[in-house]
Amino acid sequence: MVENSYSVENLKFKYDNGKNILDNLSLNFKKGKITGIIGPNGSGKTTLIKNLSRILNPNSGKLYLFGKELSKYKQKELALNTGVVFQERESEFQFAVFDIVMMGRYPYKKKFELESAEDYAVVVDALEKTNTYHYRNRYLDELSGGEKQRVLIARALAQEPKVLILDEPISHLDLHYQVEILRMIQDLAKMKEMSIIIILHDLNFAYKFCDQLILLNNGNLYKEGIPEEVITRENINKVYNVDIEIIKDNKNNGYHIIPAY
C-alpha cells in the first residue's frame, strides 16, 4: 500500500467572509512521489498549499500529515517535516544568501545553539545543488528573480524536509534552470523518498516530471490521477477553456502539449 504524506478530507476555506475558495476538497498526496497541482489562475492552488503548510487554517475539514492531524504538530516539528518555497518575500532581502540558506537549519537547533560542521556541510550542498554557491556572500536583493528563486529552494533543501512544497518554483527561471531544478526535484523524490508537492503552470513540464496531478477548477477538484488521465484534451478544454493538441513524441518517448490555434 502506498502511504500518504498529506491527506485532505472535506477541506473548506474562505478568506474573511467571502465565498468558499476551497470547496469540500478531498485529496491524497503520495509519499515519495511528485504531485503537481495545476489549474487556471485563481483556482485555489496557492490557497491549498497555504492550508497544507498551516499559513492558513481551514474553516472546516481535516488535514493529516503522515497520519497525524496537522493541527497537532508543534511548529518546530512541522518545520522538520515540511519545507515550503513560496514566491519571494521582501523581509528576507537584507540578509546574505549564505545566512538565508542557513535559516533552513533553524528547526534542528536549540535556542542559541551554534551551527555545527554538519549544518555547514548541508548548507554548502544545498547551495551547490541549486548552483548558488558563488552568490553566497551577496544580498538577496542584489540577485535576479531566477537567482533568488534558486536561493529560496536551497534554503528549503537545507531544511532536509520529508515533504517539499513548491509554489511555481520555476516561473522566473530560464529554460536551462527550469529543467535543472525539475531534474533535481525528481532525484530528491527517487533517492531520498522526499514527497514533492509542486504548483506548475507549464503543462508540458507537469506531464513530464510529475507522478500524479491534481487539476483544480474554482476551488474544486476537477480530476486527479497520473498525467495521462488528467491532461486530456477534454479536461483542459473544460477547465482552461482552451483547445489543445497532445502530440506523441516518438523520439523522446513522451508527449507535447500545444494550444490548437
120 binds ligand ADP (CB under 6 A): no
For residue 207, the minimal CB distance to ligand ADP (Å) is: 19
Given candidates 17, 41, 75, 252, which one binds ligand ADP under the rule CB under 6 A? 41
42 sits near ligand ADP (criterion: CB under 6 A): yes
List 3, 10, 15, 233, residue binding ligand ADP (CB under 6 A): 15
Give the interface segment with ligand ADP, choosing from 36-44, 76-84, 175-183, 200-208 (CB under 6 A).
36-44
- List all residues 6 or more positions away from 252 whose beta carbon is below 8 Å from its beta carbon: none
Q: Which of 5, 20, 28, 46 binds ligand ADP (CB under 6 A)?
A: 46
Q: Which amino acid is at 118?
A: E
- 44 sits near ligand ADP (criterion: CB under 6 A): yes
Piece of 42-50, 74-82, 223-231, 238-246 that binds ligand ADP (CB under 6 A): 42-50
Give the one residue of 4, 6, 28, 45 binding ligand ADP; rule: CB under 6 A: 45
Q: Which is nearer to ligand ADP, 25 or 126 (CB)?
A: 25
**Does 43 contact ligand ADP by CB under 6 A?**
yes
Chain positions contacting ligand ADP, by CB under 6 A: 15, 21, 39, 41-47
